[in-house]
């Protein structure tokens, strides 16, 4: 029993996997300390028209309502976007429009520091 427990404890974190995105790099990227609402825009967004709200897949047509529900219990009405570097500006604007319809007041872009 103890061996099985240890195996599950070791493998459980590996099973929780979100969408893989290649974040753009920025010189002045800073670490996020809060637990924000995060929208992930994958590279195949143009074809599937689906984003990930925290860890749940959401079609873009329902993103505004799902964000509204997620922000009901929060004082901070801001959302962070994790978008793949290959996502077009037009696709990003479509996501921002849905977020604004959902009552988001501030939208932040997540990036990663430039690797040297």
Instruction: Dump pLDDT digits (tens) for 32-74.
Output: 555 778 899 999 998 999 999 988 899 999 999 999 998 888 8
Instruction: Dump pLDDT digits (tens) for 80-93.
Output: 999 888 899 999 99
pLDDT value for 59: 94
Q: What are the Cα distances from residue 104, in Å, to 50, 54, 63, 70?
A: 19, 15, 11, 10
Determine contact, residues 43/57, Cβ cutoff 8 Å: no
Task: Look at residues 50, 30, 29, 26 and name the one whose alpha carbon lies nearest to residue 40.
Answer: 50
Half-sphere exposure of 101 (CA within 13 A, CB side): 13
| 70 phi and psi angles, rounded to 5 deg | -70, -30
Q: What is the model's pTM?
A: 0.68
Domains of the chain and any CATH numbers: 22-113 (3.40.250)
Q: Taking phi first (over 0 means left), then psi (-120 to 50 degrees means alpha), and beta for anything else, what does residue 8 get?
A: alpha
């Amino acid at each position: 029993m103890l061996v099985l427990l240890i195996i599950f404890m070791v493998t459980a974190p590996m099973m929780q996997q979100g969408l893989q995105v290649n974040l753009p790099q920025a010189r002045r990227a800073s670490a996020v300390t809060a637990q924000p609402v995060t929208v992930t825009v994958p590279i195949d967004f143009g074809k599937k028209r689906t984003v990930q709200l925290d860890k749940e897949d959401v079609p873009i047509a329902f993103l505004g309502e799902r964000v509204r529900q997620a922000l009901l219990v929060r004082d901070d009405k801001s959302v962070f976007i994790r978008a793949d570097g290959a996502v077009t500006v037009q696709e990003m604007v479509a996501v921002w429009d849905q977020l604004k319809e959902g009552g988001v007041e501030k939208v932040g872009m997540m990036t990663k520091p430039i690797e040297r």
